[in-house]
A and B are shown apart, each in its own frame.
Chain A
């Protein structure tokens, strides 16, 4: 027999002023008179700015400057008849990313997702521009191949070492495809013709990839117990970090040719890559040093107790742990490097910002500054924002700072 209780009052809905949209408004926008005032003032300003911007972007802005020059923004003056080589090397990278992403963990997966989305977006934009449906289709195929390899986990059928080697090989293969070799069907394409987003990406990618080994060595050197090694590494890192990138680029563009024997000529793009590499090595070194410091000293002591040599200890114990934990920081570095590549404009290279300046010099687009720079800013925003979001997620996945 159940104990009899007085019939309870029916459950009333919560007061309308505390939950639901009105409650949310009250809590977040009108919690106090001061807060209400701030909300109203900011709301008014925001509405005004949004309205003006919208009106400008919709009716006044001449976006034709972007669509008419889209090819320049994307690949610079890279000859259209050789552009298939770009899409092919992108295809190689896409396939490998898809294969790796299917089996590997979060890092590559996030980057691959992002690469696929980026190519799909580019395909859409290319469709609207003079590049036309063929280029657009090629880019779309890349994105689809990447997704398929990713989702079907095709990486299962490829042994891991083979994939690693394929990745390592993809770098020279891409370089040969892009630059071409004299006397073969792959006509050489002078780096003077490289430009736009292609050059922006190449500078940043080459910068981060080449500076990585150098940076790891510097970081190990700075933590070394050998005074001479420590002093040299520290001096290099601190000197580079103290000076602006422009001065390093300037030095690379003027002094690199002087440093090399007279017969060797290096072109401007390679000089800029050299400058960026020298510069980012110091920053990679500081990132890696952070990773090295995060390794519990017990790991090192255990390695020493086992009698491992310094080389083996670093190779098998220290670096695998340290490098894993600095991936997010290096993604951050890649983002700032991507933004910093705009500085090569000062050396006269036509990366995406330089292309923008060149486009503005065309007489029919005179006065379209805001459109061009807004477009360039938007491209960077999309790239950097998505990458930084990916790196936050990566950071959480790796549990950096929680160990």
Chain B
């Protein structure tokens, strides 16, 4: 009895008399390797050709490669940034300022658009017809017009048309809005702040412990003795006690004061920053709203009915049944919305906010090294995107584990 034949190409080799030897160009393995070699060669050749053209063109136009320009003096001002910058600083620092601005507006934008987006998503599911339709109208309006047009409307047609300093719109709580931007009181720490901070941290700790105890007991089906509520009350109560104990307010508000030409003190947000942030937030919130709605609607009706049938309250159903299942569907598209927001922040250049791309294009113009700058900027965006994906994948894994 012959041993069972291996199912691979070995069959052919073991019976040279029954099958003619396969010529190499017909051999599947040779084909596979050959095809890859050809593809790599073609791509490599095209790359080499482009590289050749690039170097000769750069030699012709006196452009060079390299990142040496990063340590040269920039010689231009940047209108705003999280770290101080002057014209005497280097190009490297200018790009740092731009990167920090991009990160700042992206992170703030992600937080705010998530909050607004969840609200929009829930409004889209509301049984109140008016609320539902308004949310739907908002979503369609945002999704079907270009973000750049929205930014232009916000910046050129709204914020820059606001009254001047003298006629600022005054909102309660020393908040002023005018064509120079938004001016808010800025909280500053006083001497008693560290003590108060201790109370806040203790409160947060108590809240976390209460929440953990509560959810563990709930998951195990034991009475929770309202541990969550107790934790929440402690979390809110401790800072209040701390405020009284500390004696003297731990936080002093630096209120913006109207001068002749501008406001002094306080926290000021430029119209460029405001337009970019608000534009990104409302645009992305519309997309996030649809993601949230889709996720919640994907939870089967039977799940919710079953939850009510076993006697869970409406809140418990939302928290224990709907939310964990919806999150599994929501997280992946939410990640791509976050990435879109970060990428869309590069539209800052059109309204003059100094983000990474805007500053870099100035640097590219001044140094005459566009190629290096573009490669650098793309690498930074790639790194940001990979990092966000990594974080969201970790979170996604956590959510997915909750599955059973």
Residues on A close to B: CB < 8 A?
28-29, 31, 35, 38-39, 42-43, 46, 225-229, 232, 239, 241-247, 250-251, 254-255, 257-262, 335, 339-340, 342-343, 345-346, 353, 356, 369-370, 373-374, 376-377, 380-381, 384-385, 388
Chain B contact patch, size range: 35 or more
**Distance from B359 Cβ to chain A, minimum over Cβ atoms (Å):** 13
Name the CB-closest residue of B to A40: B130
Known interface pairs A242-B382, A257-B57, A258-B53. Does A353 touch B346 (Cβ–Cβ under 8 Å)?
no
**Distance from A354 Cβ to chain B, minimum over Cβ atoms (Å):** 10
Q: Is the CB of A38 within 8 A of B130?
A: yes
Minimum-distance CB pairs A-B, first 8:
A28-B129, A242-B385, A384-B144, A369-B157, A339-B146, A228-B36, A244-B346, A244-B343
Please report the C-alpha to C-alpha distance between residue A285 and residue B131 in the assembled complex, in whole angstroms.
38
- B73 part of interface (Cβ distance < 8 Å): no
Interface string of B156-187 (1 = CB under 8 A from A): 11000100000000000000000000000000
**Distance from A338 Cβ to chain B, minimum over Cβ atoms (Å):** 8
Q: Is the CB of B39 within 8 A of A228?
A: yes
Write out the residue numbers on chain A whose beta carbons fall within 8 Å of the beta carbon of B147.
Answer: 339
Write out the residue numbers on chain A whose beta carbons fall within 8 Å of the beta carbon of B301.
Answer: none
**Distance from A237 Cβ to chain B, minimum over Cβ atoms (Å):** 12
Q: Which of A28, A31, A340 has the most CB of B within 10 A?
A: A28
Q: Is the CB of A29 within 8 A of B129?
A: yes
Please report the C-alpha to C-alpha distance between residue A227 and residue B36 in the assembled complex, in whole angstroms.
8
Write out the residue numbers on chain B whose beta carbons fall within 8 Å of the beta carbon of A369.
Answer: 152-153, 156-157, 161
Q: Is the CB of B346 within 8 A of A35?
A: no
Q: Is the CB of B43 within 8 A of A243?
A: no
Q: Is the CB of B161 within 8 A of A46?
A: no
Please report the C-alpha to C-alpha distance between residue A370 and residue B153 in the assembled complex, in whole angstroms.
6
Q: Is the CB of A246 within 8 A of B357?
A: yes
**Distance from A14 Cβ to chain B, minimum over Cβ atoms (Å):** 21
**Distance from B312 Cβ to chain A, minimum over Cβ atoms (Å):** 21
Please report the C-alpha to C-alpha distance between residue A384 and residue B145 in the assembled complex, in whole angstroms.
7
Name the interface residues of B364-404: CB closer than 8 Å to any CB of A.
364, 370-371, 374, 377-378, 381-382, 385-386
Write out the residue numbers on chain A whose beta carbons fall within 8 Å of the beta carbon of B148.
Answer: 342-343, 345, 353
Q: Is the CB of A258 within 8 A of B152?
A: no
Q: A46-B130, A244-B381 are in contact. List 10 more A-B contacts (CB 8 A).
A: A29-B130, A39-B128, A42-B130, A242-B339, A243-B378, A250-B374, A251-B378, A262-B57, A380-B144, A388-B143
B37, B54, B63, B349: the one within 8 Å of A259 (CB): B54
Please report the C-alpha to C-alpha distance between residue A228 and residue B32 in the assembled complex, in whole angstroms.
10
Q: Is the CB of B146 within 8 A of A340?
A: yes
Please report the C-alpha to C-alpha distance between residue A267 and residue B123 in the assembled complex, in whole angstroms.
48
- B134 part of interface (Cβ distance < 8 Å): yes
Q: Is the CB of B128 within 8 A of A255?
A: no
Known interface pairs A232-B39, A243-B343, A250-B361. Does A377 touch B381 (Cβ–Cβ under 8 Å)?
no
B54, B144, B157: the one within 8 Å of A370 (CB): B157
Q: Is the CB of A229 within 8 A of B36?
A: yes
Q: Is the CB of A342 within 8 A of B127?
A: no
**Distance from A274 Cβ to chain B, minimum over Cβ atoms (Å):** 13
- B267 part of interface (Cβ distance < 8 Å): no
Please report the C-alpha to C-alpha distance between residue A243 and residue B377 in the assembled complex, in whole angstroms.
9
Write out the residue numbers on chain B whose beta carbons fall within 8 Å of the beta carbon of A29.
Answer: 128-130
Q: Is the CB of A42 within 8 A of B386?
A: no
Write out the residue numbers on chain B whose beta carbons fall within 8 Å of the beta carbon of A343.
Answer: 148, 347
Write out the residue numbers on chain A whose beta carbons fall within 8 Å of the beta carbon of B146.
Answer: 339-340, 342, 353, 377, 380
Write out the residue numbers on chain B whose beta carbons fall within 8 Å of the beta carbon of A262.
Answer: 53, 56-57, 60
Please report the C-alpha to C-alpha distance between residue A345 and residue B35 in the assembled complex, in whole angstroms.
42
Please report the C-alpha to C-alpha distance between residue A139 and residue B198 in the assembled complex, in whole angstroms.
73
Known interface pairs A243-B378, A340-B146. Does A260 touch B128 (Cβ–Cβ under 8 Å)?
no
Known interface pairs A370-B153, A373-B157. Does A46 touch B134 (Cβ–Cβ under 8 Å)?
yes
Write out the residue numbers on chain B whose beta carbons fall within 8 Å of the beta carbon of A381.
Answer: 141, 144-145
**Distance from A369 Cβ to chain B, minimum over Cβ atoms (Å):** 4
- B113 part of interface (Cβ distance < 8 Å): no
Q: Is the CB of B381 within 8 A of A247?
A: yes
Known interface pairs A28-B128, A247-B346, A381-B145. Does A226 touch B152 (Cβ–Cβ under 8 Å)?
no
Please report the C-alpha to C-alpha distance between residue A43 and residue B53 in the assembled complex, in whole angstroms.
64
Write out the residue numbers on chain B whose beta carbons fall within 8 Å of the beta carbon of A258.
Answer: 53-54, 57-58, 63, 371
Q: Is the CB of A254 within 8 A of B370?
A: yes
- B149 part of interface (Cβ distance < 8 Å): yes
**Distance from A266 Cβ to chain B, minimum over Cβ atoms (Å):** 13
Q: Is the CB of A42 within 8 A of B378?
A: no
Name the CB-closest residue of B to A338: B146
Q: Is the CB of B130 within 8 A of A385?
A: no
Write out the residue numbers on chain A whose beta carbons fall within 8 Å of the beta carbon of B115.
Answer: none
**Distance from B130 Cβ to chain A, minimum over Cβ atoms (Å):** 5
Name the CB-closest residue of A to B141: A381
**Distance from B340 Cβ to chain A, minimum over Cβ atoms (Å):** 9
Please report the C-alpha to C-alpha distance between residue A345 and residue B37 in the assembled complex, in whole angstroms.
41
Write out the residue numbers on chain B whose beta carbons fall within 8 Å of the beta carbon of A254.
Answer: 364, 370-371, 374
**Distance from B210 Cβ to chain A, minimum over Cβ atoms (Å):** 28
Q: Is the CB of B39 within 8 A of A242?
A: no
B36, B37, B382: the one within 8 Å of A239 (CB): B382
- B87 part of interface (Cβ distance < 8 Å): no
Known interface pairs A345-B350, A380-B146. Does A247 touch B54 (Cβ–Cβ under 8 Å)?
no
Please report the C-alpha to C-alpha distance between residue A285 and residue B150 in the assembled complex, in whole angstroms.
29
